[in-house]
Chains A and B, each alone.
Chain A
Amino acid sequence: MKTLRDVAVGETVTAKKLNGEGPVKRRIMDMGITKGVQIYVRKVAPLGDPVEVTVRGYELSLRKADAEMIEVE
């Protein structure tokens, strides 16, 4: 099972499923990461975390721990 955490910088993936529950999941979905959306992993912060992704035409940053909730392909 591949999650957004494992995606290398510069790759584009499609969100398959979101795991977990509660505020963090809702927030991630509110920000536009829902099933079937394309996610481009743009860069990793200088200290290795969080990551910056492009989704629905804008830039979003999220922590690797939260990125793990997002299954991709």
Chain B
Amino acid sequence: MSVKIALAGNPNCGKTTLFNALTGSNQFVGNWPGVTVEKKEGKLKGHKDVTIMDLPGIYSLSPYTLEEVVARNYLINERPDAIINIIDGTNIERNLYLSTQIMELGIPVIMAVNMMDLVEKNGDKVYIDKLSQKLGCEVVEISALKGTGIQKAAEKAVGLAQSGRKAEIVHAFNPKVEDVIANVAAKLGSDVAEEQKRFFAIKLLEKDDKIKEQMKSVPDVSVEIKQLEDEFDDDTESIITNERYVYISNIIGGCVAKNDKRTMSVSDKIDRVVTNRWLALPIFAVVMFIVYYVSITTVGGFLTDWTNDVLFGEIIPPAIQSGLDAIGCAAWLEGLILDGIVAGVGAVLGFVPQMLVLFIFLAFLESCGYMARVAFIMDRIFRKFGLSGKSFIPMLIGSGCGVPGIMASRTIENDRDRKMTIMTTTFVPCGAKLPIIAMIAGAFFGNSGWVATSAYFVGIAAIICSGIILKKTKIFAGDPAPFVMELPAYHWPTVGNVLRSMWERGWSFIKKAGTIILLSTIILWFLMSFGWEGGSFGMVEELNESILAKIGTAIAWIFAPLGWTQAGEGWKMAVAAVTGLIAKENVVATFGMLYGFAEVAEDGSEIWGNLAAAMTPIAAYGFLVFNLLCAPCFAAMGAIKREMNNTRWFFIAIGYQCLLAYVVALCIFQIGTLFTTGAFGVGTVVAFIMIVAFIYLLFRPYKESETLDVNLKKAV
């Protein structure tokens, strides 16, 4: 008989460690349909017919966060055969709050009290048998980290699932509350199973709208709600929450003995230094410097450069080329393989080493507990523009490379903050954009240092303004973002968990982002190397003859208001901007090809004269800003697609970036030209209208919505 067991518990209770210990390498990691919440499933070691489902870490079964709704919909609809409820033994009181809710679902529950080694170390005592008796379910002691007791817990859960014994609810609230719950339960139709009636009755009393979607008939309970609210002078949701904690406080005394003479724990001591009023920011800066220095500048950068320039530059392509030459391969096929496929695969894999190094750091910072402190320290600054304190890390990493930067946004729990961070991270000039900056600075501004400096300010301004504008838009205003966050105790993570987290994230990039990167590279290769030469269609030698050049010519008018079309060479700017999608540094090389140079220096010094003749300095600066803000390279777009996990959101992100880039470049050119030459035209008027609209969007009042406006019907 196949058995399904769900793991449920608070965040930071050791759930993932237990899941890894129970399933080993036998895991499948994906997403819950339609949402970015991670879904992990695995087979119990040594039991092929036992599936373990790792539910998202949650504090409650309230309807207000994605994780909670995903978890409870799964528990209600899929009805696993048993639930292992993991409890952090060092923090029993709050952990039991979720347990009281889980036990109302009418599914057999076994409680695993984790971190028992730590409990003993603190000199505390947890009386397992008393706990079991008070809660009406079996309780086992485990240490997920050391692997003790986990086999026993799993076996008990399997046994319980096979016996099909329903959980008995032994906890009770205030008699007056219990009466009302019983009245509501009696009103429920036969579509609600007997053992789930208490759960549904309580949810209806709590005025939980999401639960109604799960029910065929919804009885009217307004009388009961009114009765309770008058009696207790509070809203029903708070009354029930209160009753749960009152119940827990009543039983906890008999089940847990706290060590009175407790000295400061190691975690407290660390925290006293790390989030100290004066030391917190310097320590944060040092940690960030190390992360950046190792993963972007040195180790990660070196590995990625090696993969890009040596492995996919000097080793693999020549080897394949000589092989293809030897078998007399057709020129177009050789081009497809080398410049399309191999270059595409190289573009995907090139980022992987850097990313893996970064992911080790992120996994470490997350599991040791420092990441929560990062949010604590930086919250004040970032929440002003709709981002999380944790958004700092993606943006910092983004200044090296946007791809790992976007992937780093995974550490942000709040859905809205994460989406916003993904959309804005690539505004920070990454390493590949520096050659464009150098080219424009050299060709138009006499290598002035302010060009590069201003590029960073433009990026930061774009993030801040986007944050403020976006958080007021309809698509973002929907989700509430309460910042009421646990600061978990510091602990030393295991090597296994850190490596596993690194690999899961790296692999999901290769798998999910890889396809889109590879495909786009091949398509662009085709557009660049085919065209009409001498009247017939075929492979072309000159980029000027390619399909892409034709497309560039056809779309050049779009960029006329940005001032790129002087001397009739606007299409070159358009083509260069498009090839920048492969990798931003390509913009420079493409200009080289278009102006007839086989190869140019990294800053394109050979073509500075040509460029200076084609654009005014104002238009050139607009061109630079456009390339900084518009859609990033394919690799970064792949990462955005992966992290949004939703096609609509992917296009919203890319669309927003391109639109913003266009509007800003337009304003720079039009208003800059007005100031330098006094020319006033339709474009100038448009630019001023844009600026007024921009200021309106920036300063319009708004009210944060208090409902979770996400369609979760598809989820589960």
Contacts and interface: CB of A to CB of B under 8 A. Distances in A.
A26 interface: yes
Interface string A43-67: 1111111101000111111110010
A34 B708 contact: no
Looking at chain A's contact residues, the main secondary structure is: mixed
Pairs A-B, 7 closest by C-beta atoms: A47-B380, A30-B60, A59-B487, A23-B64, A22-B706, A29-B241, A46-B280
A26 B62 contact: yes
Contacts of A63: 379, 383, 483-484
Contact of B97 (A30, A43, A45, A57): A30
Contact of B376 (A21, A24, A32, A61): A61
A63 B488 CA distance: 17
Interface string B450-489: 0000000000000000000000000000001011111111
Contact of B483 (A26, A30, A32, A62): A62
Contacts of B64: 23, 26-27
The range of chain B's interface size is 35 or more
Chain A CB within 10 A, most for which of B62, B372, B485: B485
B608 interface: no
Contact of B486 (A18, A23, A45, A60): A60
A44 B246 CA distance: 29
Contacts of A25: 237-238
A13 interface: no
B65 to A, nearest CB: 8
A46 B277 contact: yes
Given A23-B706, A37-B245, A57-B91, A50 B379 contact: yes
A8 interface: no
26 contacts: A22-B706, A23-B64, A26-B60, A26-B241, A27-B64, A32-B93, A32-B94, A34-B241, A45-B280, A45-B376, A45-B377, A46-B278, A46-B281, A47-B379, A49-B379, A49-B380, A50-B376, A52-B487, A57-B90, A57-B258, A59-B487, A61-B485, A62-B484, A62-B485, A63-B379, A66-B483
Nearest to A64: B380
A7 interface: no
A52 B486 contact: no
B93 A56 contact: yes
A2 interface: no
Nearest to A28: B484
Contacts of B62: 23, 26-27, 30
B484 A24 contact: yes
Contacts of B275: 43, 45-46, 52
Interface in A8-25: 18, 21-25
A23 B380 contact: no
A70 to B, nearest CB: 11
B264 to A, nearest CB: 12
Interface string B54-69: 0000011010100000
